Structure 1
Amino acid sequence: MRQTIRNVSPMSNEGRNAYVIEHLTDALLTLLRDHSINDVSISELCECAGVGRASFYRNFESKEDIVRLYINHLFCEWADAYEQGDDKPLSALIQSIFAHFERHRDFYGLLNERRLIYLLKDVIIGICGPKPEQSKDDAYAKAFVAYTLYGWVEVWFQRGMKESSEEMAGLFKMQGL
């Protein structure tokens, strides 16, 4: 899209980038309803979003990066709400994460349908996984929990998200985790 006085907003670069990111995200999620991510071209995505290809490449390296950014956005909202309380047991964290997935069932169902669930792994590892400053024992325990949780999430999606978040937390707790 060629920029002219009619189609360029007087907003700041940050405002324009936010606009571009929002429109590319909305367009990609719309296109993913009918196409796999590999079948969506950058040109088609930009046309649907009403932005130029340069805008895409200025903000993203791949279409998957758009999905990752949106997942991170959703999880930041979740984390802000979750962290408002006191220290909570692991089962409360698990229940809260699965409740988050339930609230955004359509989006995560779309990720599952389009085989993009793997994009969740980094987010889950970032939340529940090991940190460099942790002791060896803590780091391995956190890695075990994080990768186990990711596996459970993946299977839960594949099974159609039938169990409630409370049931999933209970099942996790029954495993001694």
Structure 2
Amino acid sequence: MKNKGNAKSQYSKQQILNALLVIMDNKPIYKITIKEICDYALISRKTFYRNFDTKIDVLSIEVDKIVKEYLNRLSVMDDLIVSNIALIIFNLVNENVYFLKN
């Protein structure tokens, strides 16, 4: 992922991610074009490529968020037994099913 710093870049990245997630509700990612994402997000292709190299890179934002939440939940757990870890995983999957189903 490119352009990590400024607020405008963060806003553009979020718009791109939101657009991709909405489009993925109706279409598999391999059929989605960068143009579709840009049109839905109301941004230019230049803005897309200033922030990302590929549409898969866009998904890394959401994957990173889920992984960070998983690690955060593990870090506050007192008893790291398999059943507790499994519960964390199942809860995260349930909370992020909109993303993971695609």
Give TM-score, length-normalised by structure 2: 0.82
**Matched residue count:** 98
Question: Is 1:29 paired with 2:21?
Answer: yes
Q: Hey, what's the Cα distance between the residues in 1 that align with 2:73 and 2:87?
A: 13
Aligned residue in 1 for 2:44: 52
For residues 92-145 of structure 1, give each alpha carbon's deviation from its aligned partner in whole angstroms, at most 9, with x where no partner exists: 212211211012222222x2xxxxxxxxxxxxxxxxxxxxxxxxxxxxxxxxxx
Aligned residue in 1 for 2:69: 77
Structure 2 unaligned regions, length at least 5: none
Higher RCO by CA contacts (8 Å cutoff, separation 6 or greater): 2
Aligned residue in 1 for 2:92: 100
SS of the residue corresponding to residue 68 of structure 1 reads helix
- The structure 1 segments of at least 4 consecutive aligned residues displaced by more than 6 Å after TM superposition are none
Q: Using the aligned pairs only, state the percent identity.
A: 24
Q: Per-residue deviation at 1:28?
A: 0.3
Give TM-score, length-normalised by structure 1: 0.50
Question: Is 1:16 paired with 2:12?
Answer: no
For residues 30-57 of structure 1, give each alpha carbon's deviation from its aligned partner in whole angstroms, at most 9, with x where no partner exists: 1111112122211121111111112211
Structure possessing the higher radius of gyration over alpha carbons: 1
Structure 1 unaligned regions, length at least 5: 1-12, 112-177
Alpha-carbon RMSD? 1.7
Q: Per-residue deviation at 1:87?
A: 4.9
SS of the residue corresponding to residue 35 of structure 2 reads helix
